[in-house]
Amino acid sequence: MVSGYYVNNTNTIVQIVGTAKNVGERNVAGVDIHLNSVIPVSFVKKVQIWTYFSTYFLDEEQKFNDSTGLKTRKELIGDLAHYKFYFGITTYFTNNLMLNLRGRYFSERKTIETNPIDKIPAYFLTDANLMYKNLFVKGFDFGIKIQNIFDTQYFHTGKANADAGEATGKWENGVWNGSQGWDSSKIPQPRRFIMFNILLNLNILE
């Protein structure tokens, strides 16, 4: 399945001369591609594979003069990943036992102009989810989910103005010089973590 999209935002809030106004405009256009298929495998019940790819070919936002508040030009929108790619495989070994493996890729992102970090690196993650239904008794399900299997270190783009930077703070002439601003420039994300899921369907008791 292939689908295109165009998003036009008007009256976006922007900072102008010490205040904020609803005057900005942003445009994004792109394409999403989704494929899904079932593969016949003799020794398991079912194998399903899927992939999702998203990219944009237009992204622009209106810029303003800091001192006058007048519209000046249009530039690229920061913090957007140009490519996003997901893929996965789900194997049903039996009616009750299922294993899902998923991969996630986000391309490098150029940050907004107030962020002193120019770019946030691309990252790729792998997740797994094992589920056994009707374990011991009907209606009792048990699962193990592992996200970020390979313990990848990755970051999301900063919040708000994202102006803190990443330089280490230090003392200079008895004065502490810390971050450049109040808002984090990049936000660390969870490393590998494991979750155990237990589900009890009480409807079977009715």
Superfamily for domain range 2-160+188-205: TonB-dependent receptor, beta-barrel domain (2.40.170.20)
User: 102 near 86, Cβ under 8 Å?
Assistant: yes
| pLDDT for position 18 | 67
Tens of pLDDT, residues 71-123:
667 777 888 899 999 999 999 999 899 999 999 999 999 998 888 889 999 99
What would the mean pLDDT of 175-200 be, rounded to a whole number? Answer: 87
What would the mean pLDDT of 141-164 be, rounded to a whole number? Answer: 92
| pLDDT for position 103 | 97
Residues whose CB is less than 8 angstroms from the CB of residue 179 and which lie 6 or more positions away in sequence, other chains included: 164, 165, 167, 169
CB atoms within 10 A of CB 124: 12
Listed by start position, the domains of the chain span: 2-160+188-205
Q: How many CA atoms lie within 13 A of 173 on its CB side?
A: 0
Tens of pLDDT, residues 164-181:
888 777 788 888 777 778
- The model's pTM is 0.79
- Give the mean pLDDT of the chain: 86
The answer, yes or no, to whether residue 206 has pLDDT greater than 70, is no
